[in-house]
């Protein structure tokens, strides 16, 4: 199993989730008697296509759809939906969990392959005084209401997945939440049927914890199967490799740097844009054998060659666009990259001219770059059939 957590950099607007939870939500709403046409109109207003098995949606889109569905249903819809999300809804990643040697290993799998399980928070496990505590940490930048609603849903969903892994209801001692999430405790208590309370002493960064007997972490799971687990983990690694092409942290840093004109963002500013601390960004880039300065240099080289080969910009204009203090520093960097000066570079149809030549563009535009193709994923379970039938009826 490969650890993908250091490589990925996701936002609430990335198409990182399958449609499984949305499709199951529609199915549940119809079972609860929601008018098909009313539901159809509300979902269509959010502009999310659910028919294709390879369709991906963002956290923000899923949250918006769940809200409009919940408005047409009885209170507590999101938590009832969470209790419907079985391991089979998440394809091969669900079977990787089910065949794990132990619960501890299954939780490691869940965190490593979290995008394949549509998990919206980082998971951690700690042991304290005979208790195992599964912590939920913020993964995406969300507003307060979205964070509260998603946290409630994910806590209840993880309890459902734990029940499936254990092949019986998982005995949970309690659920603890930070102050600020108290509004959802009563709902969690009624759905999960476990004690819930506010705990201001949760470890730093932990928004909520599910606590249970520590001995269950290392006990063998009922459906453990080494060969199946190895095969499932191998497929999950291949899927995550495709996923990382789109959401690789280093690639995300470079994308932000490409979009900056003039002075590039500082490391602290870049970390804020990516919703992480400067220390975390630095550490995660080091884990990828790179750094802010190396990535900035690569982006500047790429853009510089693009400008030199496809525009008539002066070296002064290019230096300004790339955030260099003067043209001399830019010329020095360009010669380091290519071995020749911008004036003598022959990689394209134009040579950069000096100010004395009087050649300047009317306005500065960046060279175009092709976006990466979105990855394909294994189709989720048969709930999409219910969506297709619902759309036909509507």
What structural domains does the chain harbor?
Answer: 20-239+377-393 (no CATH), 262-357 (1.10.10.60)
User: What is the pTM for the complete model shown?
Assistant: 0.67
pLDDT of residue 49: 56
Biggest alpha carbon–alpha carbon distance for the chain = 80
173 burial (CB, 10 Å; 0-12 / 13-18 / 19+) is middle
Q: d(Cα 46, Cα 69) in Å, to the nearest integer?
A: 11
Q: Which residue, among 3, 134, 115, 123, has the nearest Cα to 59 in the 3D structure? A: 115
Q: d(Cα 85, Cα 20) in Å, to the nearest integer?
A: 9
* 227-277 residue pLDDT tens: 999 999 999 999 888 887 767 788 888 888 988 877 889 999 988 888 778
Q: Is the dihedral of CA 293, 297, 241, 63 positive or negative?
A: positive
* 285-319 residue pLDDT tens: 887 788 999 999 999 999 999 999 888 899 999 99
pLDDT of residue 347: 58
Residue 283 to residues 8, 206, 356, Cα–Cα distance (Å) = 13, 20, 46
Helical (H) or strand (E) element with 392: helix 383-393
* 187-234 residue pLDDT tens: 777 777 788 888 888 998 899 999 999 999 999 999 999 999 999 999
- 119 CB contacts (<8 Å, ≥6 apart)? 110, 111, 139, 154, 158
pLDDT of residue 183: 59
Tell me, what DSSP letter sits at residue 83? Answer: T
Structure tokens at 195: 């004690």
Please answer whether residues 123 and 134 qualify as being in contact, where contact means their C-beta atoms are separated by less than 8 angstroms: yes
* 7-63 residue pLDDT tens: 677 778 878 888 889 889 988 999 998 888 777 776 664 545 555 556 788 888 888
Q: What are phi and psi of 165, to 5 degrees?
A: -65, -40
Task: Average the pLDDT over 98-123 and give the result.
Answer: 94
247 burial (CB, 10 Å; 0-12 / 13-18 / 19+) is buried
| Confidence check: pLDDT of 356 > 50 | no
């Amino acid at each position: 199993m490969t650890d993908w957590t250091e490589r990925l950099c996701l936002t609430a607007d990335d198409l990182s989730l399958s449609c499984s939870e949305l499709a199951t939500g529609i199915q549940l709403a119809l079972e609860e008697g929601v008018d098909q046409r009313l539901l159809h109109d509300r979902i269509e207003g959010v502009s999310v296509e659910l028919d294709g098995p390879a369709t991906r949606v963002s956290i923000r889109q899923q949250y918006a759809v769940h809200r409009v569905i919940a408005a047409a249903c009885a209170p507590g819809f999101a938590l009832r939906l969470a209790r419907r999300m079985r391991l089979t809804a998440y394809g091969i990643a669900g079977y990787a969990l089910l065949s794990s040697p132990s619960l501890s290993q299954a939780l490691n799998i869940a965190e490593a392959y979290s995008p394949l399980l549509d998990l919206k928070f980082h998971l951690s496990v700690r042991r304290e005084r005979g208790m195992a505590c599964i912590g939920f940490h913020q993964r995406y930048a969300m507003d307060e209401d979205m964070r509260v609603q998603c946290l409630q849903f994910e806590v209840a969903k993880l309890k459902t997945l734990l029940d499936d892994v254990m092949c019986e209801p998982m005995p949970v001692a309690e659920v603890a939440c930070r102050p600020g999430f108290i509004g959802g405790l009563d709902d969690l208590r009624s759905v999960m049927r476990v004690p819930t309370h506010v705990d201001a002493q949760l470890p730093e960064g932990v928004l909520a914890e599910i606590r249970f007997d520590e001995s269950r972490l290392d006990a063998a799971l009922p459906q453990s199967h080494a060969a199946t687990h190895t095969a499932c983990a191998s497929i999950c690694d291949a899927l995550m490799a495709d996923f990382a092409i789109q959401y690789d942290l280093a690639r995300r840093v470079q994308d932000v740097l490409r979009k900056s004109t003039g002075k590039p963002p500082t490391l602290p500013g870049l970390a804020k844009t990516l919703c992480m601390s400067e220390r975390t960004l630095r550490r995660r880039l080091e884990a990828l054998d790179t750094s802010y300065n190396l990535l900035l240099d690569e982006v500047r080289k790429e853009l510089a060659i693009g400008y030199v080969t496809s525009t008539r910009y002066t070296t002064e204009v290019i230096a300004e666009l790339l955030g260099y203090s003067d043209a001399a520093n830019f010329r020095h960097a360009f010669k380091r990259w290519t071995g020749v000066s911008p004036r003598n570079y022959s990689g394209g149809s134009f040579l950069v001219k000096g100010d004395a030549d009087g050649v300047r563009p009317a306005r500065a535009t960046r060279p175009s770059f092709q976006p990466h193709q979105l990855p394909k994923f294994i189709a989720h379970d048969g709930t999409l059939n219910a969506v297709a039938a619902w759309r036909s009826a509507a």
